[in-house]
Amino acid sequence: MPMPPAALRLAATAAGLLLTATMPATASAASAVSAAAPPRSAAAAPATLAAGTTDPAGWSAPLSTQGRYIVDAQGDRFRLKGANWDGAQGSWTGSGSAADPANHHAGQDSHGIPLGLDRAPLDQLLSDFRQLGVNTIRLPFSNEMIHSTTPVPDGAVAANPQLRGKTPLQIYDAVVDALSRSGFAVILNNHTNTSRWCCGVDGNERWNSGQSTARWADDWVFMARRYASVPRVVGADLYNEVRRDVMDDPNWGLGDGHDWYGAAQLAADRILSEGNPGLLIVIEGINWTGIPVDGLPHGRPVLTPARTLSHTLVDAHKLVYSAHFYGYTGPRHSGATGIGETHDARYQDLSRTELAAALDDEAFFVEESGRHYTAPVWVSEFGIGSSETNAAARTWFGNATDYFADHDADFAFWPLVGFEGHDDWALLRYDGAGHRSGILDAGDWRGTAWQHLMTAPGKTGPVASVPVWRMLSTDHGDAVASLRVRAAGDWDSGAYKAACPDGSRLAGLSHTGGRGLCTDTGAGDLRAAGTRQTVVTDERHVPAGGDWASGYTKYQCPAGEFLIGYSLRGARVSAALCVPARGALAGGGRTVWFDRSDNRPAGAAGGDFAYGNYKGQCAATEYAAGIAFTTRVGSRPGPAALLCRTLP
C-alpha cells in the first residue's frame, strides 16, 4: 500500500533506527481467538447455493485454476477485476496518540474496520462498487482485529447503526456477508499483525513479526473456517508485502524462521486441509530485501524465487501468485525519499518497453504454460492519486494499465474507499454527508486508463483443462502433498517423504537435492479408487530377467501400480511409494539415467524442477514405475535412474 507522504519507506532500515518503542498493544495481550470471537451462528451465514441453481451474479464458487487462468465452478474464466477495501488492517501510523485522526494514514481513523461505514450505508457502498465494474474485493485484516473484544465507537459506524456495539471482527463479518450477497468475490487478506499502517519498518514486516508462525497459521485456519459457509469468500491472501525489518531479511526456502516459502506452504496446507478446501491460496512474492543504500545489496525479489522453488499445494488447482507494483518503487528502489533513497530507477522512470520487461521478469513469467510454477498472477495492489501532477507518474499509470489490459491480467486497485479531502488515491471518496466523488467523475484524470483496463477484451467462457506440473521439495522436511497418502499415516517414519498431489503421478527426480516433479499429463488421474498403496523397500517386485539397472538397487512398483512418491534418509533413497492404476498398465519400459547429467525429453514440460542438480524425467506419454540407486562406497546414494513405461 502507498505510504503517507511524510513517511520514509524503509528509511529506518537504512539508518538502523528504532522499531519497537512506538509499537501499540497487540493481539499478544488479547484473549484467545475462541474467547474473542465466538463462532458465528448458523443463521448469520448465508446458505450456499443449491446444486443446479443459476447464480444471479453470473458466476459460481468455488474458484480454482487452470494453468494461468482462474475459473469458476462451471469451468468458466473468472478474471479478478478488483479493488482493496482497506481499514480493517489498521490505520494508525505509529507515532502520536492513536485517538487523534491526524496520526492515522491520510487523517483517516479506520477504527480497525473497513473505511466508509461512518459516512455511507453499506448498501450504498456496495451499489457504488458495482458502478465501478469490479467483481472482486480484497478485504485486508490484522491479526489484532481477530482478537479484539472491544466494540468500535458508535461514530465509526454512524451511517450503519445496525453495527453499533459490535467488535471489529463482527463488523468484518457483516461486511463479508453483504459483499457475498451482492455477488462480489471476497478474498481475505492478512495485511498486518498489529493494527498499524503498513508497509515500512513498522512491526508488520513478516507474518511472524511479534507472533509465532504457528499462531499465525492458527489464525488463518480460524478465518477460513469462520467464512466457509459464505458462498463467495473465495480466497486466502496469506500475507502482505513480506519485507526486511531492521536486522534481517525474509528468504525463500532456507528453512529458518524467516522462510516465507516454508511459512506460506504451511499455512496453505492447513487452510485447505483444516479450514476450507474451496479457497484459492494467494501467495505474494517477497517485497523487499537488503538495506536501501547505494553500494549495498538490496532489491525487490517479488516472484523471481518461484522460478527455482515453487509451491505445491494439496490441491494443485488452488495456487495463485501475487505481486504489487507502484510507480514510485522500482526493481531495486524501495520507494523512499531522503534517507533510504538510492539512485536506482523507479518504475515510473522506465520506458514503456523497460517497464514491460520488468513486469515480465519479476512476476508475469509465472503465467508461462507447462512449468512447475505455472499459476495465475494477481496484481493485488497498484494505484495512483487523482491529484498526481508528476508527468512520469501519470505516464507510468497509463503504461502499467495498458500492460495489465494487454496481458489480460487479474488486478486489484489500492484503495477502494477513502475520505474526501484526505485520500486522493481512493477510487471512491465520501464526504461527511456521504456524498461520493472519485474516478467515476469526469474530472478524474485516471478514468480513461481505468476504463481501458476494465473494458479491454480478454479470455471469457470455458477454459480448457491443461496438464498440471508441480515440484516436490524435501529440502527441510516432508513434501507429502497427497491427502490420500496423509490419511494412511506415516509410511516411512524418520525419513523425509514426498508424494504428489492427488490426481498426479511422479514424472521426474533429481540425483541430488531431493527434488521431484509431478504431473497428470496424458492420462489425468491415473490412480484407482480406494486407499491401497505399496511402500517398496526392496527388489521383490523386479521380475526375473527384468534387471533394468544392472548393478544398482531397484525399488520397483508391483505390476499394475505406478510411482507417486519417494522417501530419503539423508541423500539415500529410503523407499518408493506406489499405488494401483484405475486400468491395466501395459507397454514397454526404458531406463532413464541421470546420475551423470540431465536426462529429460527435449523441450521437457515442467521446466527445471531441480535447478543446479542432475535430474531425469519420463516422457509425457510415460509413467514412472521404479527408482534405481547405488550404495557403492564413494558413490552418491541419491536416485540415479527411473524406470519409465508407456501410458495405457
pLDDT for residue 635: 87
pLDDT for residue 3: 55
pLDDT over 80 at 391, yes or no: yes
pLDDT for residue 56: 61
pLDDT over 50 at 496, yes or no: yes
Grid cell for residue 486:
496423509
Least confident of 33-37, 161-165, 178-182, 564-568: 33-37
pLDDT over 80 at 453, yes or no: yes
DSSP 8-state assignment for residue 9: T
| 309: helix, strand or coil | coil
118 — alpha (psi -120 to 50), left (phi > 0) or beta?
alpha
pLDDT digits (tens, 9 = 90+) for 102-149: 999 999 999 999 999 999 999 999 999 999 999 999 999 999 999 999
Q: Give me the helix-helix angle, 447-455 and 391-406, nearest 10°.
A: 10
pLDDT over 70 at 183, yes or no: yes
Q: How far apart are the first and last CA of the chain?
A: 52
Grid cell for residue 240:
502482505
pLDDT digits (tens, 9 = 90+) for 547-600: 999 999 999 999 999 999 999 999 999 999 999 999 999 778 999 999 999 999
Quick check: 279 and 224 in contact, CB under 8 A? Answer: yes
410 half-sphere exposure, CB direction, 13 A CA radius: 28
Mean pLDDT over each residue of the chain, to the nearest integer: 92
Is the CA virtual torsion 576, 582, 585, 589 positive or negative?
Answer: negative
Quick check: 18 and 12 in contact, CB under 8 A? Answer: yes
pLDDT over 70 at 53, yes or no: no
Q: How confident is the model at residue 354 (pLDDT cuts 50, 70, 90)?
A: very high
Of the candidates 647, 474, 639, the one whose C-alpha atom is nearest the C-alpha of residue 562 is 647
pTM over 0.85: yes
Q: How confident is the model at residue 340 (pLDDT cuts 50, 70, 90)?
A: confident
- The average pLDDT across 597-616 equals 96
pLDDT for residue 55: 58
Grid cell for residue 149:
473484544
| 616: helix, strand or coil | strand
Q: How confident is the model at residue 33 (pLDDT cuts 50, 70, 90)?
A: very low
- The average pLDDT across 280-300 equals 96
β-bridge mates for residue 518, sequence order: 470, 506
pLDDT over 80 at 404, yes or no: yes
- How far apart are the C-alpha atoms of 480 and 471, rounded to whole Å? 11
Alpha helices in 182-303 (DSSP H): 213-226, 260-270
Longest Cα–Cα distance of the chain, Å, equals 86
pLDDT over 90 at 57, yes or no: no
| 192: helix, strand or coil | strand
pLDDT over 80 at 54, yes or no: no
β-bridge mates for residue 622, sequence order: 646
Range among 55-59, 316-320, 631-635 rated most confident: 316-320
Portion of the chain with pLDDT greater than 70, in percent = 91
pLDDT for residue 40: 59
pLDDT for residue 561: 97
Task: Give the position of cell 459464505.
Answer: 230
Task: Give the position of cell 484459492.
Answer: 280
Quick check: 496 and 568 in contact, CB under 8 A? Answer: yes
pLDDT digits (tens, 9 = 90+) for 190-249: 999 999 999 888 999 999 999 999 999 999 999 999 999 999 999 999 999 999 999 999
